[in-house]
């Protein structure tokens, strides 16, 4: 019930559709910012169910920025896509990958990119909007776990999570 200039809402896809019969919790919270002309509203979340995801709908309203990183070989800028992550399954266990086999294939030159190049790639990347028709003041950003800094979630760990999910 108090006005706020800066509103940060985290894990929006987990919010209920209706709050005590008063409506959408995001819209209710956004109303608290109308007092301020220079307000900032941040909605942050991992998308959940396709075609129902609140954060996915909000992302589409904005300019749809993706972080594009250069290939260390050809310098072509691209966003990290799971389809470009290549690996070989372990000989001993088909449900996991051979960690040493994991690499990212450049969409332009097709060269294999090992994960140790990721730090340089991230340092030289840029946010590129893909929806030029969006309202000027609505920026939206998308980033996935392939961008995790070295020492956090590794590409082999992500491949193994994928293989486990496919097995279930």
CA–CA distance, 167 with 153 (Å, rounded to integer):
21
Residue 45: count of CB within 10 angstroms of its CB: 18
CA–CA distance, 156 with 134 (Å, rounded to integer):
36
Q: Buried b vs exposed e over 121-149: b needs ≥16 C-beta within 10 Å?
A: bbeebeeeeeeeebeeeeebebeeebbbe
CA-nearest of 140, 8, 3, 133 to 66 is 140
pTM of the model: 0.86
pLDDT in tens, the chain (168 residues): 799 999 999 999 999 989 999 999 999 999 999 999 999 999 999 999 888 999 999 999 999 999 999 999 999 999 999 999 999 998 888 788 999 999 999 999 999 999 999 999 999 999 999 999 999 999 999 999 999 999 999 999 999 999 988 877
């Amino acid at each position: 019930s108090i006005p706020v200039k800066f509103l940060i809402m985290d894990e929006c896809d987990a919010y209920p559709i209706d709050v005590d019969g008063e409506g959408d919790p995001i819209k209710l919270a956004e109303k608290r910012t109308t007092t301020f002309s220079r307000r900032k509203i941040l909605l942050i979340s991992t998308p959940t169910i396709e075609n129902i995801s609140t954060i996915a709908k909000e992302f589409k309203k904005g300019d749809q920025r993706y972080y594009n990183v250069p290939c260390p070989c050809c310098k072509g800028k691209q966003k990290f896509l799971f389809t470009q992550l290549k690996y070989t399954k372990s000989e001993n266990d088909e449900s996991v990958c051979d960690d040493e086999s994991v690499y990212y294939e450049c969409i332009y030159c097709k060269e294999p990119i090992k994960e140790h190049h990721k730090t340089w790639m991230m340092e030289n990347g840029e946010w590129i909007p893909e929806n030029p028709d969006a309202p000027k003041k609505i920026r939206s950003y998308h980033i996935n776990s392939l961008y995790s800094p070295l020492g956090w979630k590794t590409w082999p760990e992500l491949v193994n999570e994928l293989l486990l999910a496919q097995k279930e």
